[in-house]
Each structure stands twice: as C-alpha cells, then as structure tokens.
Structure 1
Amino acid sequence: MKKIDIACIIDDDPIFVFGTKRLMQLANFCNGVLVFKNGKEAYDSLKTIIISGEKLPDLIFLDLNMPIWDGWQFLDEFIQIPIENAVTIFIVTSSIDPEDIKRAKSYEIVSNYLVKPIKMDDLKKLMEE
C-alpha cells in the first residue's frame, strides 16, 4: 500500500473533518493533512502554494455543499491554474443527486465520487490505487 504524502480536506463540517482525519491516522494514510472550510479559502491557499513552488497535496477530498464557494466553484477556478504535478480530487459529499454525479464525471481532474461518510475500506482502496 502506498502512503500519501499530503492530503487535503475541503469541507465545512467539523465532525466529518475530525472523523476523516482520525480514520486517516488509524489507516496510516498520509504524512500530513491540510484542511479548509470552504472552496474560496482552499483556492486561495492552494494557489499561494503553487505560486511559491511548494508541494501541493497529492489528493483532495472535496465537499460540494459549503458556504462562500461550494465545491463546483472551487473546481471551476482550480482547473484554470496551470499545475505541474497532477492532483487527484475525490468528491466526498452527502449528495446522491444523479445530476451531481454526472457533473462530477465531466471534470477530468475528479477521480471518483464518494458518498459520506468515508469508511476505512475507502481509504485502503485509495492507497492501493
């Protein structure tokens, strides 16, 4: 199993963030975690990381329903930034709307669509990929 260097969670739900970070810790999933409460905060911070030449997260868990900028707004802006190393984005949301699932597939950068909550098996599968 391959351990992730840096993971990122973009979600406004503190209980989900706490639980996911705890699962990551138990699974020895990653070396570090960045957490942002909305898409705008994440976009601004990740853009700064790109501009300064620092290492981006290897993967992002992105919620769709958040205040300020939702997941779609984040995606629409983030894909406009030229990035040297690919970032894998997993949409992790409570939405089971077929339109959301269809829309997620239209983004090349989105690797998968997971319905909350994340389970230990989900993390193990990601580490095997």
Structure 2
Amino acid sequence: MKELLDDYRQKHGELPKCNLPPEPPEKEVASEWGFYFYEDIGKPLYEVAFNPQDLREKIRKVPVASLEFHQKRGDFAKWIRDVFKDVQLAEAIQKIDKTGEDLRRELLNLFSSSERGACPRCGIETSPVKTWKMA
C-alpha cells in the first residue's frame, strides 16, 4: 500500500483525496437495494447479489453478455459507490475497458483484493486501489 501511495505522490505531487469510509463488505442489503443481473433490458437472469462478496460469486457464473451489459451502463460502479460508499473501488471498476472473459477477470481481481489500510491523512480504514497508470 505504501508503494501505491508513493507512486501516486511522485506522479501528482500530493496524496490522493480520501473517500468516505466504505460500508463493511460483508454487510447485506435489503432486497430493494440488491444488484439484479440482466442480460439486456427486459431480460432478467434472476440472479441477485446483496453484498460485494455475493456480487463476486455471481460475476463468476453469470454469462459474459450480462457483465458487458452492466459494465457498459456503469451499473457495477454505481452500486458499489451508492450502496456501499466505496468510492475508490467504484472508480477502479468504472475504468475497466475490457470485454468478454477479460472483463470478468478484471472485475474478479478488483473484488478479490482484500488489502485494507488506514489513510495517511485522516486515518479512515479503506481498501487502496491503484486507479492511475504510470507513464
């Protein structure tokens, strides 16, 4: 994590801005806040996720067409940002520009990252995610 922050500081001259503390990832939401998978508009898959771990498991098994549909619309990032308040993870998801199994792999990599640490500025516990590319 320190390496990520040092890389960011070298590139941008300052540390990244803090995000709101994310909700605990194991927290389960009510059914109306669940993530409902679709293959297209009007084509539900009848798969629902109620927390990020559940979403990761569904990402493993739903058809790629569903992942592409939701990624193109920004649904994964919006759900993580709005429901679980994890801005960094949402931004990293939003930046994925892959299709097919490459998309599935990238999403699974982001959701599998379990490293957590305290922000050096405010002390808020967060999941650091590299959201920039080195030149």
TM-score > 0.5 by shorter chain: no
Higher-Rg member (1/2):
2
Q: Report the TM-score, using the length of structure 1 for normalisation.
A: 0.29
Higher RCO, Cα 8 Å, sep 6+: 1
